[in-house]
Amino acid sequence: MAANLIDGRAISAQILAELGARVAALKFRGVQPGLAFVRVGEDPASKVYVGRKEKISQELGIHSETHVLPEATSEADLLKLIHQLNVDTRLHGILVQAPLPRQIRQEVVYATVLPSKDVDGFHPVNVGKLMLGDTDGFQPCTPAGVRELLIRSQVKTDGAEVVVLGRGNIVGKPMAAMLCQKGSHANSTVTICHSATRHIKDHCLRADIIIAAMGVAEFLKADMVKPGAVVMDVGVNRVPDAASKSGTKLVGDVAFAEVQPIAGKITPNPGGVGPMTIAMLMSNTVRAAEMATR
């Protein structure tokens, strides 16, 4: 692997090994962490994502169970299931896989999961704690994974100019909130850029760290990155590819081949941020079990 690549697979493996020891300690006390997955419909990508999370749970010794509901499930029926999972003492975490069918309001679902079991970090209470700098809450897994990559790759964030490309509730906003907090491994000056940002290239060229999470294939080009900047690619975009058997391929938000020679450090895609999202989900679940048994 090239010297400037941030290896998300290797770092996630380190985290999972650390979590394995914590799971073993909980089991020694008679506690097995438990995680429930809820999937509505048969979206192919959702099936793959949940399958990966189930596999890692099993490898760590976390009890996991998956509830699959039909595409036509009503919001009321989904909320009824969540209420049942909320009171199940075997379960310390609940993850409702997105996307949800259009008849179900995502924000209502996230607000129904108990904050103490919200290992996705999307409940309004946990979002509020993140904004306030209260570390007792659960943080969204993808931005938490990006921050962990920065920490373990010894990227200095204190005083750094950070540009977050994207203002979404899942990555962009929480990422900015994490890095602008007063504290260790944060303390950055953060600019959020989005589709209405003027002179976006100028913002990027000032950045010591760029976190690309716009959902636009290969948006970040070489002429937008100053030499030595750290580039974190969160994007997952499917684009046409005549050479592929499926006719498509997955690319990130960064034009990797042209940006890598310029960047001081850069995440590959795949193999960068993706593995960290699952690792941080497992971390939140283990911590939820530890908190429930204090």
Q: Which domains does the chain have, with CATH numbers?
A: 31-114 (3.40.50.10860), 141-274 (3.40.50.720)
- For residue 88 the two structure tokens come to 């199940």
Is 120 an annotated catalytic residue? yes
More confident residue, 243 or 134: 134
Region 228-251: mean pLDDT is 91
DSSP output for the chain: --TTB--HHHHHHHHHHHHHHHHHHHHHTT---EEEEEEES--HHHHHHHHHHHHHHHHHT-EEEEEEE-TT--HHHHHHHHHHHHT-TT-SEEEEPSP--TTS-HHHHHHHS-GGG-TTS-SHHHHHHHHHT-TTSPPPHHHHHHHHHHHHTT---TT-EEEEE---TTTHHHHHHHHHSSSTT---EEEEE-TT-TTHHHHHHH-SEEEE-S--TT-B-GGGS-TT-EEEE---EEEE-TTSTTSEEEE-SB-HHHHTTT-SEE--SSSSSHHHHHHHHHHHHHHHHHHHT-
Q: What is the pLDDT of residues 185-222, one digit of tens each?
A: 999 999 999 999 999 999 999 999 999 999 999 999 99
For residues 274-292, average pLDDT: 97
**Model confidence at 1: pLDDT above 80:** no
Confidence of residue 69 (pLDDT cuts 50, 70, 90): very high
Vertex 59 angle, CA 114 and 54, to 5°: 50
Residue 26 predicted with pLDDT over 80: yes
Least confident stretch, 60-69, 157-166, 169-178, 233-242: 233-242
Identify the active-site residue in 7, 118, 120, 253: 120
Burial 53-88 (b: 16+ CB within 10 A, else e): bbebbeebebbbebbebeeebebeebbebbeebeee
- Is this prediction's pTM over 0.85? yes
Report pLDDT digits (tens) over 86-108: 999 999 999 999 999 999 999 99
Cα R_g (the chain), whole angstroms: 19
Tell me what the mean pLDDT of segment 33-52 comes to. Answer: 94
Task: State how far the Cα of 252 lies from the Cα of 250, in Å rounded to an integer.
Answer: 7
Question: Quick one: average pLDDT of 265-283?
Answer: 96
**Gap between the Cα atoms of 187 and 95, Å rounded:** 30
pLDDT greater than 90 at residue 148: yes
Top pLDDT among 223 and 43 is at: 223
53 flagged as catalytic: yes
C-alpha 183: how far from chain center: 21
